[in-house]
Structure 1
Amino acid sequence: MTAILPPIPTHVMGSHGFPGWFWTALDRIKAGDYGQTDTKETFDDATQLAIRDQERAGIDIVCDGEMRRFFFVQTFYAKMDGLEPVEPLRKTGLYAYDSAPRYRPRQRVTVPRGLGVVEEFQYLKTQTEKPVKATCPGPVTLSIHVQLRPGDAYGNDRLALCWDFVPAINAELRALVDAGADYIQIDEPSAAIVPGQIGEYVKMFNACVEGVRARIAYHVCFGNLLSRPRGKRSYRWMFPKLLDTRCHQFVFEYANREMAEIEHWKEIGVDRDVACGVVDVKSFYMESPEDVAERLELCAKFIPVERLSAVPDCGFFPVPRWVAFEKLKRLVAGTRLARRRLGLASPRP
């Protein structure tokens, strides 16, 4: 990334809150009431809105808000061959992790037409002059809606399924670089949700980014379906193995955990950049600039400020647009306050 950024740059994790009209439009699209042009215009408008919200809030590095995706990774399964839809485990009551769509692998899974991340990025580049970030799910996370059963293509071997996603992700990342991406975030919350295989997950990550000439960020959180975590909310068990990942930046969730484990960086040492979640996306509590500044000042005790970035804990998909926008404004205001308190000079325009 060649743009001159301020100290402790701000960026978003990925998804933006959907406005009410967009939910209504998605229902109409699903019902078959929109034509191809109507649908394209709807998604383009929603993406422009997400970008404008980030710009108006003052975010330093923007993304497309993942407005063309639904419930994080659910949209990607339509791009895969070899999967057969099956009934959700539960259809009544509150929507939760056991309500999500499921698939069975009737044959080895392939992604012959790509994941569509490149097309998202290409549109983003036409809509802003600010530095941008592309986001792509990792192989473990892409596997989460696939049910494994004896007799199916993978039996009970989830690792084999994950490895089959690696070539498609690597091809997508290389194509992103060819399209001009110089900052790419790999989203892999499932690495923290399914414990015990971290060494294999690190190998997969490294295979995904092989030959990808860009700044690579590794986002690991604990799940965020409708603001609910799924995994044990701790990073400690993942270290020191996680340090073997070939990434330039770790992107971690802290605000929702009251900054728990931030001191861990003093123990393991900081050999790369760290983007710290200092705004809680799972709460309607509106952090004050003072809240954000205090969290960043705490981070600065354990992470060199030249390696520190300020981000929300996760994506804003589970909250309304107005909540996302307000929290982005407070993230920016709090980060600017922290810069002043820490005596950090912003670059000249």
Structure 2
Amino acid sequence: MTIPTEPIGSIPRPPALQAALAEHAQGRLSDADLTRLQEEATAETLARLAELGSPLVVDGEQAKPSFVTYPLSGLGALDPHGAVIPFEDGHTRQLPCLTGGPFRYQVNAAEYLRTARRHTDRPIKQAVIAPSALSLLYPAEPIDGYPRETFLSDLAHEAEADIRGCLDAGADRVQLDFTEGRLSLKLDPSGALLDDFIALNNEVLGRFSETERARLGVHTCPGGDQDSTHSLDVDYAGLLPKLFQLKAGNFYIQLAGEAEPERVLRIIADQLRPGIRVFIGVTDPIDPAVETPEQVRDRVLLAARHIPVEQLGTCDDCGFSPFADDTSTSRELAFAKIDARLRGTALAAEALGL
């Protein structure tokens, strides 16, 4: 037996692709040329992960505008002035706001998966956005002729199709990105918003069989954009008991960037149930220092004191560049940290006699 280890999703785009994105935004590069460069970056990302020995590979989200907004590309019924997400360093991200219905995904994640499959025969993990994040698109004032209840029903249907499409296209693992879980407790300390998020996500996850849910996972983190977070100050104790109510077989939990990792591990241990695996973050994407394999090993061994090894895995804390315009972390730094995760997890497995 070994300790499974998986990337979370995004990897910084190559400088040439970053330049191409800027040219495309200014109308100086065609859609076809941008698509070609995105696919080249995808192929190179997959090849480098394979060279490092990653058991599961990802496309690095080279073609996504962001981890959250990919389903919206081309959707007309949007106002750009929606919910604002503030980060600790003062910068913000803003979601668009829905102005009409019915709500339909314009892009499904399986499209990215099929592109990746052309360039690798390795098992592929595909990240999708959790429906709870997209529920924030609906405005505070009801949309005339399109009530919130109808929107949520449409959203659940679209999210199910997004996940199922990835499974049908051969994804070894499908990961729901749920960074808004921790953030919800900052927006609404009562926990009512988090309860709504959990209920919506479970409405979707509950439509899958036990066998299918073994291939599904949920990722939580306090955000990671431009080397800043949006909810690291929110106590995990408020989130984790609710998180583990989700009907998924795998949980990816940011931990390397936590001030009190052993306290978090004790909370996780109290919430464990049979049949799930917990992947703990062992590298911090917003820390410019590259972890050594020995540091990673020690983090895994600490986790193994609280989580049975047969239910333990490792991951990076978060994606390295969840928004396409984020250049705060270099591509080479990201791959160095991934290499440390892979080597350190192997050292831990050896130390545990696996």
TM-score computed with the length of structure 1 as normaliser: 0.86
Q: Is the 8 A contact 1:202 1:242 kept in 2?
A: yes
The residue number in structure 2 matching 1:266 is 269
The residue number in structure 2 matching 1:229 is 229
Structure 1 counterpart of 2:351, from 313, 325, 341: 341
Identify unmatched segments of 5+ residues in structure 2. Answer: 186-190
Instruction: Give the alignment of 1:1-349 within 5 angstroms.
Output: 7-86=2-81, 96-97=91-92, 100-108=93-101, 110-113=103-106, 115-144=107-136, 146=137, 148-150=139-141, 152=143, 164-195=154-185, 196=191, 197-209=193-205, 210-211=207-208, 213=212, 215-231=215-231, 232-258=233-259, 259=261, 260-271=263-274, 272-317=276-321, 318=326, 319-344=329-354
Cα separation, partners in 2 of 1:227 and 1:143, compared to 1, 3 Å: farther
What SS is found at the alignment partner of 1:309?
A: strand
Q: Kindly, what percent of the aligned residue pairs are identical?
A: 25
Cα separation, partners in 2 of 1:38 and 1:171, compared to 1, 3 Å: same
Aligned length: 331
Distance 1:79 1:208 in 2: 24
What SS is found at the alignment partner of 2:49?
A: helix
Cα separation, partners in 2 of 1:251 and 1:38, compared to 1, 3 Å: same
Distance 1:343 1:48 in 2: 35
What SS is found at the alignment partner of 1:127?
A: coil
Distance 1:110 1:225 in 2: 27
What SS is found at the alignment partner of 1:278?
A: strand
Q: Is the 8 A contact 2:83 2:97 kept in 1?
A: no
List per-residue Cα deviations over 1:288-342 (Å, max 9, x = no partner). 1111000000011111112111110000115110110111111111111111111
Cα separation, partners in 2 of 1:187 and 1:15, compared to 1, 3 Å: same
What SS is found at the alignment partner of 1:322?
A: helix
Distance 1:36 1:20 in 2: 18
Q: Is the 8 A contact 1:86 1:102 kept in 2?
A: yes
Q: Is the 8 A contact 1:81 1:109 kept in 2?
A: no
What SS is found at the alignment partner of 1:251?
A: strand
Distance 1:307 1:72 in 2: 27
Distance 2:128 2:16 in 1: 26
Cα separation, partners in 2 of 1:72 and 1:173, compared to 1, 3 Å: closer
Shift of 1:147: 7.3
Cα separation, partners in 2 of 1:32 and 1:254, compared to 1, 3 Å: same
Bigger drift between 322-331 and 122-131 goes to 122-131
Cα separation, partners in 2 of 1:10 and 1:50, compared to 1, 3 Å: same
List per-residue Cα deviations over 1:134-160 (Å, max 9, x = no partner). 11001222245x4734365599x9888
Distance 1:283 1:172 in 2: 32
What SS is found at the alignment partner of 2:224?
A: coil
What SS is found at the alignment partner of 1:256?
A: coil
Q: State the superposition RMSD in angstroms.
A: 2.7
Cα separation, partners in 2 of 1:331 and 1:182, compared to 1, 3 Å: closer
Cα separation, partners in 2 of 1:185 and 1:25, compared to 1, 3 Å: same
Distance 2:179 2:2 in 1: 27
What SS is found at the alignment partner of 2:80?
A: strand
Q: Is the 8 A contact 2:123 2:171 kept in 1?
A: no
List per-residue Cα deviations over 1:6-52 (Å, max 9, x = no partner). 61122100001122111111111222222343122111011112212
Structure 2 counterpart of 1:203, one-letter code: A
Distance 1:266 1:211 in 2: 26
Structure 2 counterpart of 1:17, one-letter code: P
Bigger drift between 309-318 and 124-133 goes to 124-133
Cα separation, partners in 2 of 1:135 and 1:235, compared to 1, 3 Å: same
List per-residue Cα deviations over 1:259-306 (Å, max 9, x = no partner). 251122332334310011000011101111111000000011111112
